[in-house]
Amino acid sequence: MNKKNTNNNFKTDFPFFKNNPDLVYLDTAASSLKPQVVIDAIKEYYEQYCINPHSQDYQLAIKGNDIFEDTRKIISKFINSNENEIVFCPSATFAFNQIAYGLEKYLQENDEILLTNLEHSSLLLPFYRLIKTKKIKIKFFETNNQGVITIENLKKVLTPKTRIVAFANINNSLAIENNTEKLTNFIKDYGQKYLKNNDWVFKNILVIIDGTQSIAHTKTDVKKWNIDFFAFSGHKVFGPTGIGVFWGKNEWLNILEPLILGGGMNDCIETNGRFSLLASPTRFEGGTQNIAGVFGLGAAIKYLLSIGMENIKNHQISLKKYALQQLTKHLSNNIEIYSDNINSSNIIFNIKNVFAQDVANFLGTQNICVRSGTYCAKLLSNTLNTSATIRVSLYIYNCKKDIDLLVTALKKGINEGGDFLNEFF
Report H helices in 308-393. Answer: 309-331, 356-365, 380-384
From the candidates 89, 268, 369, 376, which is the catalytic residue? 376
- How far apart are alpha carbons 184 and 261 in whole angstroms? 32
Backbone torsion region of residue 180, taken as left when φ is above 0, otherwise alpha when ψ lies between -120 and 50, otherwise beta: alpha
- How far apart are alpha carbons 130 and 136 in whole angstroms? 6
Q: Name the amino acid, one letter, at 146.
A: Q
Using the 8-state DSSP alphabet, how is residue 215 labeled?
A: G
Q: Which helix (H) or strand (E) holds 293?
A: helix 291-307
Q: b/e string for 226-251 if b means 16 or more Cβ within 10 A?
A: bbbbbbbbbbbbbbbbebbbbbbbee
Q: CB of 394 within 8 A of CB of 345?
A: yes
Q: Determine phi and psi for 189, rounding to 5 degrees.
A: -65, -40
| Known active-site residue 376 | yes
- How far apart are alpha carbons 282 and 198 in whole angstroms? 30
Active site residues: 376
